[in-house]
């Protein structure tokens, strides 16, 4: 902000004959003789009489006084321009400094990249997450899986493919493949299947679940109720939740299919039906990302696009299938458990509860049911 000061006499009074005080300060004493008649406005502004050798010409002096307001305005404008130019220069220097230091963020940079966003994670990881439809002796089921090799290895939950006589996998682009079971590990609720005739698939990047912290943002990708490629987001709500699940669907005869939730127990309580007597436990990643029946075997992903867990159990407070759904209590197998088990699964795994599914292959037809 600039300030301006007005010198006495620079702005003449429009309506008064008052004479400005001399620059020296006090007025001289009154003369001993009567003063002359009060002059008019013009006379009052005439320069005082002076010796001819020192008095300037009347015309130029009057012109200089007349131009002073204009000169003052020009000076103020120049000062404002200098201040404005200085502000612009300071802003430009700040932007240049930020650009050199990498701290500047412009609209162009943001709009050109969706890295670290839910949409960016979904775009990068969705091609590596599949829908798995199965036929069993007791009905049909739907789950999800994660692509781990370009030639079609898919890791999923054991309870998704347990007892399957036919397995069909649907990719994110809608392409379908029959699949067979390679190996299962009911103790960890994990299984590995292999697509037939697949190539050039996009494997998921497996991250490090040991690096997770409560509050980390995560994205869940799966196929709840056969809705392929559904994306939800949330945070890591807790770590190392020890949950108990049945080792296989066949060993959970009291499972309540009406609510669609895979039964599990926690802290001595049963959820989503009776888990039966033959259960296994693991320390899960808890998340509030919306999970629903069909998300089992899918992906829980961090904001770097890395798989950090596999959704495997949800809590549903209702036994009525029409009202059952996510209430923000979902549990996922840590990805480090999956990575440690892959070699064993490729050799057939430790499971004995496959119900003959280990060598089954499918050319399953479309139209599998929507039960879990």
DSSP state of 31: P
Question: Catalytic site residue 11?
Answer: no
CA distance linking residue 145 with residue 154, whole number of Å: 6
The catalytically annotated residue of 126, 296, 312, 326 is: 296
Q: Are 161 and 193 in contact (CB under 8 A)?
A: yes
DSSP state of 91: H
In this structure, the strands spanning 264-266 and 269-271 are antiparallel
User: Coil, strand, or helix at residue 239?
Assistant: strand
Q: Which residues lie closer than 8 Å to 357 by C-beta, 6 or more apart?
A: 161, 162, 163, 164, 165, 167, 181, 184
Q: Are 326 and 290 in contact (CB under 8 A)?
A: yes
Distances (CA, A) of 79 to 67, 73, 245: 18, 10, 78
Place of tokens 């300030």: 3
The catalytically annotated residue of 159, 209, 312, 357 is: 159
Nearest residue to 129 (alpha-carbon basis) of 258, 244, 298, 280: 298
Q: Are 192 and 342 in contact (CB under 8 A)?
A: yes
Nearest residue to 318 (alpha-carbon basis) of 259, 243, 360, 366: 259
Question: Catalytic site residue 189?
Answer: yes
Question: Catalytic site residue 8?
Answer: no
Active-site residue list: 159, 189, 296
């Amino acid at each position: 902000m600039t300030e301006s000061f007005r010198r006495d006499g620079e702005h003449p009074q429009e309506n008064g004959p008052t004479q400005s005080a001399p620059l020296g300060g006090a007025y001289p004493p009154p003369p001993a003789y009567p003063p002359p008649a009060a002059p008019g406005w013009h006379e009052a502004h005439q320069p005082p009489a002076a010796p001819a050798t020192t008095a300037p010409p009347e015309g130029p002096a009057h012109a200089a006084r007349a131009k002073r307001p204009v000169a003052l305005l020009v000076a103020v404008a120049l000062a404002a321009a200098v201040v404005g130019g200085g502000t612009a220069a300071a802003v430009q220097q700040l932007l240049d400094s930020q650009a050199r230091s990498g701290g500047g963020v412009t609209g162009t940079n943001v709009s050109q990249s969706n890295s670290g966003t839910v949409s960016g994670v979904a775009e990068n990881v969705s091609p590596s997450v599949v829908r798995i439809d199965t036929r069993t002796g007791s009905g049909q089921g739907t789950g999800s899986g994660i692509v781990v090799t370009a030639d079609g290895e898919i890791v999923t939950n054991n309870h998704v493919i347990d007892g399957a006589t036919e397995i069909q996998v649907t990719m994110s682009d809608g392409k379908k493949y029959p699949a067979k079971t390679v190996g299962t590990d009911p103790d960890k609720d994990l299984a590995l299947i292999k697509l037939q005739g697949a190539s050039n698939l996009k494997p998921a990047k497996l991250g490090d679940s040991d690096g997770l912290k409560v509050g980390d943002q995560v994205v869940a990708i799966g196929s709840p109720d056969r809705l392929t490629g559904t994306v939800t987001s949330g945070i890591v709500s807790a770590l190392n939740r020890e949950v108990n699940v049945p080792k296989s669907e066949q060993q959970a005869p009291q499972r309540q299919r009406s609510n669609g939730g895979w039964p599990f127990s926690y802290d001595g309580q049963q959820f989503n039906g009776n888990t039966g007597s033959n259960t296994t436990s693991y320390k899960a990643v808890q998340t509030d990302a919306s999970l629903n029946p069909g998300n089992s075997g899918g992906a829980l992903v961090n904001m770097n696009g890395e798989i950090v867990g596999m959704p495997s159990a949800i809590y549903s407070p209702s036994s009525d299938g029409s009202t059952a759904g996510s209430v923000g209590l979902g549990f996922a197998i840590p990805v480090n458990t999956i990575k440690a088990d892959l070699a064993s699964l490729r050799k057939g795994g430790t499971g004995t509860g496959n119900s003959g599914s280990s060598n089954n292959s499918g050319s399953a037809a479309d139209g599998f049911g929507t039960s879990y």
